[in-house]
Amino acid sequence: MRKYWYRRILIMIVTFIITVGGGYYLTEYQQYQLKAEVNANTSSENMVIPGGMPIGIYLETEGVMVLGTDSITAEDGMDYEPAANLVKAGDYIVALNEQTIDDKTELIEAVNRLGDEDAILRVRRDDQYMNIRMKPVKQNARESKLGIWVRDNAQGLGTITFLNTDSRFGALGHGIHDTDTNELLEIHNGTVYETSIRDIKKGEDGTPGGMEGIIVYNNYNVLGSITKNTDCGIFGTIDRIDALFADQTPIETAVKDEIEEGPAVMRCAVEGTVENYEIRITKIDKNAEEVNKGIVIEVTDKRLLEITGGIVQGMSGSPIIQNGKLIGAVTHVFVHDSTKGYGIFIEDMLENIK
């Protein structure tokens, strides 16, 4: 009887150990599986298709951007400046007398319809909207003016940097600024177009070169849309992926701590197709004053130097790859040395598509 009692106690102890221990190991295994899934998801999020292809860019602002004011000679022969000290460079005129203004043509037509009526401009300055009243100057019976220089769009050529799994892209690595005010353009919408390189002006000391492309702004050549213009580049969605990305092999992106001084490559299409060209990373500044100047690079590829002289306008956004990972994009060229330039960390560009 005593023997059976000991046996029962022993069975209870073994059962307890198996239950507790098995539960512990089951919990450990589930945590391991969860970590594996998280790691897999993180890896997927960090995979992108590198670019290097040229794209045509067309940006439209919300309303029209004020560049400055000027005096106007009226029909009485006197000079007037109706907008002086009322609007300033960087303002956006979004409406006139409650009529929405989308471009310069609409603004000119709306002013000419005023007659002797005052103009009440709806203006956005920074994040605030205000109404500004002024008296247009009549130049003749059919034409009036406000004495305001404006711009309503921007277009140009750049290079696409990457495409992620959600068809979101990043390009340029720097923002598009107005050439007169140097203000970052606040866009209403934008479009990406197909383009091809027609000619390359070789860069020389003191004179940056440039890529000249052929861009036909029609619906047939539309590749996608632009939704953001930031200091880190332009961002949006590509609809016709196959038309832009001949090679859709994804690669991993690198964080800043993985980047090192030394050899790397940049991808661009100066010879008609996307090729890798040798460069050298000479400096890494994780705390650079300007977000798009964290990497300093030097072109070492003899073939690229022969074709372009180094970095030229239009290359902005060219992917920089090191150790098989996308680490950043070319952003600027040194004015007095076209073989050298700046780049942005890909980590900073990716922040804009989260």
Residues identified as active-site: 174, 301, 316
Handedness of CA 185, 352, 338, 267 (dihedral sign): negative
The set of long-range contacts for 302-306, using a CB threshold of 8 Å and a minimum separation of 24, is 303/277, 304/270, 304/277, 304/278, 305/339
Q: What is the CA radius of gyration of the chain?
A: 29
Q: Cα 207 vs. chain centroid, distance in angstroms?
A: 25
- CA neighbours closer than 13 Å in the CB half-sphere of residue 299: 29
3-state secondary structure of 115: coil
Q: Compute the C-alpha angle 281/47/53, nearest 5°.
A: 65
Given a contact cutoff of 8 angstroms between Cβ atoms, the answer to whether 352 and 195 are in contact is: no
Question: What does the DSSP assignment read for 125-161?
Answer: ETTEEEEEEE-PEESSSS-EE--EEEEEEEEEEEEEE
Q: For residue 346, which of 40, 46, 41 has the smallest C-alpha distance?
A: 46
Question: What does the DSSP assignment read for 52-102?
Answer: --EEEEEEEEEEEEEEEE--EE-TTS-EE-TTTTTS-TT-EEEEETTEE--
E strand map for 221-324: 222-230, 233-238, 251-253, 262-268, 275-284, 295-299, 319-322
Look up residue 74 and give its two tokens. Answer: 């009226």
Task: Kindly report the number of other CB atoms within 10 A of residue 262's CB atom.
Answer: 10
Query: Rounded CA gap, 49 and 157, in Å?
Result: 20
3-state secondary structure of 299: strand
Ramachandran sector of residue 77 (left: φ over 0; alpha: ψ -120 to 50; beta: rest): left
